[in-house]
């Protein structure tokens, strides 16, 4: 038979004191003498007393729990971000309730509802790549649940977010490839629903124009970030009359799919086609054929900053500070990390395939 949990009433009865005295003694209230406090704490320890968390939550109006909704925890990027979030939560005695949307908009909406029903104090979110409507996040405002977005940020006004300046990294990547002699550079972008896709495209075009080259939009292809979608984008780019000698891919996973496709087609990855990607994930160190460079997006720092914002919002709410018209918007600069293991030799680009220099008007 399961034993009954010890309560402060049991402690009070054994010590022949009031319940309020036990409660205050356990919380080191100055009105309770040191000797009495020590007796209370010793008996509580001997009886294996544990505080009733539900009662504490009801009294304080908070659950000391935050929710995190990510697209895929299996991705190293999000695993790094959640590590930072858990580190920050642990320091503040908060529990993290983690869920994955698996890039499913309907599931994401269900998870937001479940987080609300579990009475999380706040929510950290990286939105699904397929989410097109964001009313489920707007609805949380009615329940006074603050939300902070990171990495995949929805196109909404008046939100808190932490993102990465993809344009900076994209322009670095393009400059890197152009300085190596590439003139026909392709871009395998992500879904149009992601803000990051627009940032990559914008940086791609701006870097080309900055180098006084003509931006060829026919060399920009979008995909759904799956292996099949990447293969379709590769097929489109390689069929272009200005067949690219270098391709920038949306992330390292897309680079992996694209490199695999190129190898199947018998393309010489050392001399014919070079890849640059985003995220700088650890996995590229174990790939036989790797992107020659990857744009670092600092997932741990993004997770850390997002958690910082959320805890600050919760603290302000606790103090009764109205922050409805003040929004945190933190942008971290990305940077290009060159891969020392990359084997592409720019000096051996096939001249017959090398596109002529086109100066923009």
Q: Can you list the positions of beta strands (E) in the chain?
A: 65-70, 95-100, 122-125, 147-150, 160-165, 185-189, 220-222, 246-249, 274-278, 293-296, 329-333, 335-338
112-135 pLDDT tens trace: 999 999 999 999 999 999 999 999
Q: Is residue 104 part of a domain?
A: yes
For the ranges 3-17, 108-122, 140-154, which has the lowest average pLDDT?
3-17
Q: Is residue 355 part of a domain?
A: no
In the predicted structure, residue 102 carries a pLDDT above the cut 60 = yes
**Domain shared by 249 and 137, yes or no:** no
> What pLDDT does residue 151 have?
95
Burial 84-120 (b: 16+ CB within 10 A, else e): bbbebbeeeebebbebbbebbbebbbebbeebbeeeb
> What pLDDT does residue 355 have?
40
* Residue found under tokens 């196109």: 155
**Domain shared by 257 and 236, yes or no:** yes
**Domain shared by 216 and 288, yes or no:** yes
**Domain shared by 344 and 212, yes or no:** yes
Between 57 and 232, residue with greater pLDDT: 232
Q: Is residue 179 part of a domain?
A: yes
3-state SS string over 4-59?
CCCCHHHHHHHHCCCHHHHHHHHCCCCCCCHHHHHHHHHHHHHCCCCCCHHHHHHH
> What pLDDT does residue 349 have?
54
**Domain shared by 290 and 203, yes or no:** yes
Whole-number percent of the chain with pLDDT over 70: 89
In the predicted structure, residue 319 carries a pLDDT above the cut 90 = no
Split at pLDDT 50, 70, 90, the class of 56 is low
Task: Kindly state the DSSP code that residue 250 receives in the 8-state scheme.
Answer: S
Retrieve residue 190's tokens. 């992500």
In the predicted structure, residue 268 carries a pLDDT above the cut 70 = yes
Domain span at residue 133? 62-164+298-332
CA angle at residue 267 from 262 to 272, to 5 degrees? 110
In the predicted structure, residue 305 carries a pLDDT above the cut 60 = yes
**Domain shared by 217 and 342, yes or no:** yes
What mean pLDDT, rounded, does the chain reach? 88
Split at pLDDT 50, 70, 90, the class of 339 is confident
> What pLDDT does residue 284 have?
77
**What is the distance between the alpha carbons of residues 171 and 192, in angstroms, rounded to a whole number?**
20
**What is the distance between the alpha carbons of residues 85 and 301, in angstroms, rounded to a whole number?**
9
The pLDDT of 222-242, averaged and rounded, is 96
> What pLDDT does residue 198 have?
92
In the predicted structure, residue 314 carries a pLDDT above the cut 90 = yes
């Amino acid at each position: 038979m399961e034993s009954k949990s010890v309560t402060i009433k049991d402690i009070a009865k054994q010590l022949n004191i009031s319940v309020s005295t036990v409660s205050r003694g356990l919380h080191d209230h100055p009105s309770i003498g040191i000797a009495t406090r020590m007796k209370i704490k010793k008996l509580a320890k001997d009886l294996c007393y544990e505080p009733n968390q539900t009662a504490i939550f009801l009294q304080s109006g908070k659950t000391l729990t935050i929710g995190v909704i990510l697209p895929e925890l299996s991705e190293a990027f999000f695993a790094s971000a959640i590590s930072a979030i858990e580190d920050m939560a642990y320091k503040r005695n908060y529990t993290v309730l983690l869920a994955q949307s698996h890039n499913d908009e309907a599931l994401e909406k269900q998870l937001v509802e479940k987080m609300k029903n579990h009475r999380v104090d706040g929510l950290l979110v990286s939105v699904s790549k397929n989410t097109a409507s964001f009313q489920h996040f707007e609805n949380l405002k009615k329940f006074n649940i603050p939300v902070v977005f990171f990495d995949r940020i929805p196109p909404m006004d008046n939100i808190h977010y932490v993102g990465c300046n993809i344009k900076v990294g994209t322009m670095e990547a393009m400059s890197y490839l152009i300085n190596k002699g590439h003139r026909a550079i392709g871009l395998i972008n992500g879904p149009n629903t992601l803000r990051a896709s627009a940032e990559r495209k914008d940086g791609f075009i701006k870097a080309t124009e900055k180098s006084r080259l003509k931006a060829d939009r026919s060399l920009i292809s979008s995909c759904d970030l799956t292996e099949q979608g990447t293969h379709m984008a590769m097929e489109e780019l390689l069929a272009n009359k200005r067949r690219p000698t270098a391709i920038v891919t949306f992330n390292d996973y897309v680079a992996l799919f694209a490199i695999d496709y190129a190898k199947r087609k018998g393309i010489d990855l050392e001399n014919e086609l070079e890849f640059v990607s985003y995220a700088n994930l650890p996995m590229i160190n174990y790939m036989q054929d790797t992107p020659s460079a990857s744009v670092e997006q600092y997932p741990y720092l993004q997770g850390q900053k997002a958690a910082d914002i959320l805890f600050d919002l919760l603290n302000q709410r606790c103090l009764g500070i109205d922050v409805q018209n003040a929004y945190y918007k933190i942008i971290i600069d990305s940077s290009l990390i060159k891969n020392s293991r990359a084997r592409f030799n720019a000096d051996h680009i096939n001249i017959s395939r090398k596109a002529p220099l086109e100066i923009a008007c």
